Chain A
Amino acid sequence: MTTQATFVTNLQRTLGQNIRQYGMFIALFVIMIIFSITTNGIFISSRNLSNLINQTGYIAVLAVGMTLVIVIRHIDLSVGFLAGFLGAVAAIALRFWELPTIVVVPMVLVLGGLAGLLTAFPVAELKIPSFVASLAGWLIYRGALQLVTAGTGTIIIEDETFNAIGNGFIPDVPFSIVPGYHTLTLLLGVLAIVAFIISEIRSRNKKLAYNFEVLPTDMFLLKLIFISTLIGLLAWIMAGYNGLSWTMVIVLAVVAIYHFITTQTVLGRHIYAVGGNPEAAELSGISVKRITYIVFASMGVLSALSGILFASRLRSATTTAGTLFELDAIAAAYIGGVSAAGGVGNVIGSIIGALVYVSLTSGMNLMGIDIAYQYIVRGLVLVAAVVFDVTTRRRGRAG
C-alpha cells in the first residue's frame, strides 16, 4: 500500500513540477487518442501516420529554425515564399539546367543561407524590426516565385533521386524478423531505445555525482518506459508501412543537430543568452550582431530545405508553393512553448508543436470536418497552448 501511495504522490509531484515539459507530449497523445477513436482507428493506422509525418516535414524544419529566431526576439515572415522560390529554383536547375540532385541540393541550401544573411542585414546593422525586414522578403520572394514560374507555370520534376527525398523510404535489409514489417526500421527503433536509455542513465548518474536533484527512481523508470514505448510504437507503426521515409530521416537529423547545437555548444548558449538579455550578452563579450546573422542564416538554410522537401513531395514546383508556411511554422513554435519575450524555447518542443498542428489537420480531414471549422479549431488550440504555457511558467517562477 505505502509503495503504491508514494508512487502516486511522486507521479503527482513530478507531473506538477514538469508540467510544461511534458504538457506538449501529453497533449499530442490525447489528440492522437481522440482522433483514433473518432476515425475508428484510421488515424492511428501505419499508412496515415506515415503520411502525416511526411507532411509535417517541411513545416517541422521551418519550426526548428523559427524557434531560434523567436528565441533571439525576432521573427521571420519571409520563410514561406523563400521556401517556395528556392523549391522552384531547384526544379529549374533539375529540369532545364539538367543538374544532378547531388549538385542542386547543396546549391539551394547555400542560396537559402545567403537569403537569410540578407534578411539579417537591416535587422543587425540598422536595427530595423525583423517583422518589417522579413515582410519585405515575403513580398520579394513571392514576386520572385511568380517570376521564375511565369513562363512555364507548374514545373514538373522528373528526377527520381530528387523526388525520393519527399516520397521515398529507406531500403530494407535482406532478411526479415517480423513478416510484413520493415526490418531495418525495427532495428533502428531498438537501437534508438537502447541509445536513449544509456544516455539517460549516464546523465542521471552524473547529476547524482554532483548532488543535483533528480527524478525519484520510480519516476525515472516510468519516464524511461514511457519514452521507450513511444519510440518503439513509432518504429512499429512506421515499419508497418514501407518503413522510415527519407523525409523522416532528414527531419530527425535536423532535430538532432539543432538539439545538439542549442544544448551542448558555445554557439547555442550564446543564442539563448542574447535572447534572455541582449545587453548583458553584449557586455559579456557576445556579439549580438553576429548571433543575429547566424540565426537568420540558419533560418534561410532551413527554408531552402523546406522548399526542397515540399517540391520533392509534390514532384513539382508550383506558383503558389510556400503560401502560409511561415505562419504554420510560427504557430508550431508557439504551441511548442517558445516565448516571444526571448530566451525561452527548444527545438524538441517546436517539433512536437508541429506534430500537434499537423495532427489536427489530418485528423479533422479524416473526420470530414469542414475546412472553416478546422481553422477555428487550430486557432483555439494555439491560444490554449500559449495560455497554458504562460500560466504554468508563472506558477513555476512563484514556486
Chain B
Amino acid sequence: MEIPILEMRQITKEFPGVRALDNVTFSVKRGEIHCLVGENGAGKSTLMKVLSGVYPYGSYSGEILIDGQPQRFFGIADSERVGIGIIYQELALVPELTVYENIFLGHEISRNGVIDWNETIRRADEMLRKVRLDVNPAAKIRDLGVGKQQLVEIAKALSREVKILILDEPTAALNENDSENLLNLLRELRDHGVTCILISHKLKEVLSVADTVTVLRDGKTVCTLDAHKGEVSEQALIRNMVGREIANIYPPRNHQISDEVMLELRNWTVYSPELGRYLLRDVNLQVRKGEIVGLAGLMGAGRTELALSLFGNAPGYRISGELWLKGRKRAFRHPREAIAAGLAYVSEDRKAKGLVLIQDVRQNITLANLQALAQNGVINRNAEIQVAEGYRKSLNIKTPTIEQQVVNLSGGNQQKVCLGKWLFVRPDVLILDEPTRGIDVGAKYEIYQLMNRLVEEGMSIIMISSELPEVLGMSDRIYVVSGGRIKGELPVAAATQEKIMELAVDY
C-alpha cells in the first residue's frame, strides 16, 4: 500500500478545561483533495494549527508523519520547510504592499540582503499565471477584491514549493463566481501533484471537489469517507457531523407567548461597500412578546451583522428594508437610539466589544444606563452601588467585591456582568449573540435559567447560537441563516439537528 503523504496519529490537544482534540487520526493520500468537515468547535482549525506548527511539538501528544517520516514542528517555519502551506480565513497579506512584494514576503529573492526586483517580478508573474490571476504584479493588495487576494495567497504558497496546501474556509467571504474559480484552481493544482486539505462548511463545495472527506465531531475523528467509492453524500455528512448528544441541561420553562409582535424585519438587506458584497438579503423575521427566537447557522452566515445592523451599529453599510419595533417603524443611527427604544445587544465577543476590562464590575454594569443613576449629570454613587450589588446577587456573579476589575473574573462571570449591564437598560427585546460561548457548564445552566425567567416576565429574546443543542433546547422558534439569507423557519417541535444543518449548509 502507498505511504500517505501525511499522517497524523492519535493527536490529543488540551486547553485548560477543554480537550480540543481527542485521539484524532487523520491520513491524507498524495495528490488528492481531502476535505475536513465538522461543526463549529469540532476541532478542525485546532488540528490544522497542530499540523502547521502554530502549536509546537510537545504542546500536544501524538505523531505527525510526512512521507512516512516522523516530524517535530516547533514553529510555522519548520512545517513550511517540509512543504506545508496554510492559508487562513483571515488573509495574511500586507494591504499596502504590492502583489509581488507580498508573494515573496519573508522569502525575498536577494543577494547579500539586496533584493533582486527584476527576478522577483518575473517569478511573481509566473506564479500568478499558475493561479490564473490576471493582475498587474505591481498592484497593491488593498486594491484587489477578496477573491483575488485569496489567489495571491495561493500564489504565495506555491512560490514556496508547497506540497500540502491547507485552506481554511477559503470561500467563506467569496461570491459564487470567485468560489467556483477557486475550486477549479484546486482541481488543477491537484492534477499537478499538489495535495490539498480543504476545510469548508459549504457541503455542496465539498461534494463537488473532494476525493476524500474526514468528519470531526467534538474533537474526535468520526469517519473518513471515500468519494470515489460513493460514500460521500450530503445526508451522510450531515448525519456524521451532528450526531451530538443533547444532554438534558436545559431547564424547563413555563411561559406564555403572546401574539403581540415586538420586533419585525421586512426585506432587511444590508450591503457593505467596503467588502463589495451583501451581508444580508431580504431578511424577514418576527419576534413575539415572551418568545425566544433562535438564529441558527454557521459562523459567517451573517447573524452578528444582522444584530448589529438593526442595533444601529452599521459603519458605512447601506441598509434597505424595514425595522418595526413595538408597532413603530424605526431606523437607528446609533446604538444609543436603539437602547432608548428598548433594544439590547449582548456581544459574542465580550472582551473586545462587551466589557471595559480595566474597569470594575460596578462600572461595567451601569455603563449603558448611567443616566438612570444620575441627577444633572452627577452619578449617585449609593444608587449605583445598590444596582451593581443587586445584579451581583441576582445573577450570582462570583467576585470578591463589585470593585473588582472584570479582567480578573472567569469567562462565565464576565458574561454575567455583560448580561447585568444589558438587563439594567430594561430592554423589551434582548439580543444574545453566542450567550454561552467559552463558559463552563454551571454558568451555562444559570444563563439558561435567567433566559427563562426573562421571557416569563414578558421579555423577548433573540438568541444567536452556533451550538445546535442549545438552539434546540432553548428556542421557541428557529430561523436558520446561511449566506446572509433566512433559509428556513422551524418551530422547535419540528426541528432536528439534521434539519437545521441541512439548511445551514445550503449556500
Binds B, one of A102-110, A173-181, A206-214, A298-306: A206-214
Binds A, one of B89-97, B174-182, B258-266, B377-385: B377-385
Taking a contact as CB atoms under 8 Å apart, the answer to whether B358 and A343 are in contact is yes
Chain B residues near A213: list those with CB within 8 A: 401, 403
Q: A206-B382, A213-B401, A397-B407 are in contact. Are A283 and B377 (CB under 8 A)?
A: no
Instruction: With both chains docked as a complex, state the minimum distance between the C-beta of A293 and any C-beta of chain B, in angstroms.
Output: 15
Closest to A397 in B: B407
Taking a contact as CB atoms under 8 Å apart, the answer to whether B385 and A210 are in contact is yes
Closest to B389 in A: A210
Closest to B405 in A: A397
In angstroms, Cα B367 to Cα A343, docked, is: 14
Q: A287-B336, A343-B358 are in contact. Are A269 and B353 (CB under 8 A)?
A: no
In angstroms, Cα B363 to Cα A269, docked, is: 8
- Interface readout for B198-236 with A: 1 if CB under 8 Å, 0 if not? 000000000000000000000000000000000000000
Closest to A268 in B: B379
Q: A213-B401, A266-B371, A284-B421 are in contact. Are A277 and B336 (CB under 8 A)?
A: no
Q: A265-B374, A266-B370, A285-B339 are in contact. Are A276 and B352 (CB under 8 A)?
A: no
Closest to B425 in A: A285
A210, A212, A264, A284: most-surrounded residue (chain B CB, <10 A): A284
Q: A269-B379, A285-B336, A287-B336 are in contact. Are A276 and B356 (CB under 8 A)?
A: yes
B-contacting residues, A12-31, CB 8 Å: none
Query: Does chain B have a CB within 8 A of A187?
Result: no
Chain A residues near B387: list those with CB within 8 A: none
Q: A283-B335, A287-B334, A287-B336 are in contact. Are A270 and B378 (CB under 8 A)?
A: no
Q: For chains A and B in complex, what number of residue pairs have CB atoms within 8 angstroms?
A: 88
Query: Does chain A have a CB within 8 A of B146?
Result: no
Taking a contact as CB atoms under 8 Å apart, the answer to whether A272 and B368 are in contact is no
Cβ-defined partner of B336 (8 Å) among A210, A269, A286: A286
In angstroms, Cα B407 to Cα A343, docked, is: 14
Instruction: With both chains docked as a complex, state the minimum distance between the C-beta of A389 and any C-beta of chain B, in angstroms.
Output: 14
Taking a contact as CB atoms under 8 Å apart, the answer to whether B335 and A285 are in contact is yes
Query: Does chain B have a CB within 8 A of A132?
Result: no
In angstroms, Cα B366 to Cα A286, docked, is: 12
Instruction: With both chains docked as a complex, state the minimum distance between the C-beta of B488 and any C-beta of chain A, in angstroms.
Output: 29
Q: For chain B, give the interface size range.
A: 35 or more
Cβ-defined partner of B379 (8 Å) among A265, A285, A397: A265
Chain B residues near A37: list those with CB within 8 A: none
In angstroms, Cα B347 to Cα A344, docked, is: 24
In angstroms, Cα B24 to Cα A385, docked, is: 52
Q: A213-B401, A277-B355, A277-B356 are in contact. Are A267 and B367 (CB under 8 A)?
A: no
Closest to B400 in A: A213
A-contacting residues, B369-415, CB 8 Å: 370-371, 374, 377-379, 381-382, 385, 389, 401, 403, 405, 407-408
In angstroms, Cα B355 to Cα A206, docked, is: 27
Cβ-defined partner of B313 (8 Å) among A210, A212, A264, A283: A283
Q: A213-B401, A283-B353 are in contact. Are A273 and B367 (CB under 8 A)?
A: yes
Taking a contact as CB atoms under 8 Å apart, the answer to whether A266 and B356 are in contact is no
Instruction: With both chains docked as a complex, state the minimum distance between the C-beta of B378 and any C-beta of chain A, in angstroms.
Output: 5
Closest to B382 in A: A206
Chain B residues near A377: list those with CB within 8 A: none
Taking a contact as CB atoms under 8 Å apart, the answer to whether B359 and A343 are in contact is yes
Chain A residues near B75: list those with CB within 8 A: none
Taking a contact as CB atoms under 8 Å apart, the answer to whether A265 and B335 are in contact is no
In angstroms, Cα B353 to Cα A265, docked, is: 23
In angstroms, Cα B379 to Cα A156, docked, is: 46
Instruction: With both chains docked as a complex, state the minimum distance between the C-beta of A150 and any C-beta of chain B, in angstroms.
Output: 42
Q: Using a CB–CB distance below 8 Å, which chain A residues touch chain B?
A: 206, 210-213, 264-267, 269-270, 272-273, 276-277, 279-287, 343-344, 397
Chain A to chain B contacts (Cβ below 8 Å), 15 pairs: A212-B401, A212-B403, A267-B377, A269-B366, A269-B367, A269-B370, A272-B356, A279-B352, A280-B355, A283-B313, A283-B335, A285-B338, A285-B339, A285-B368, A287-B336
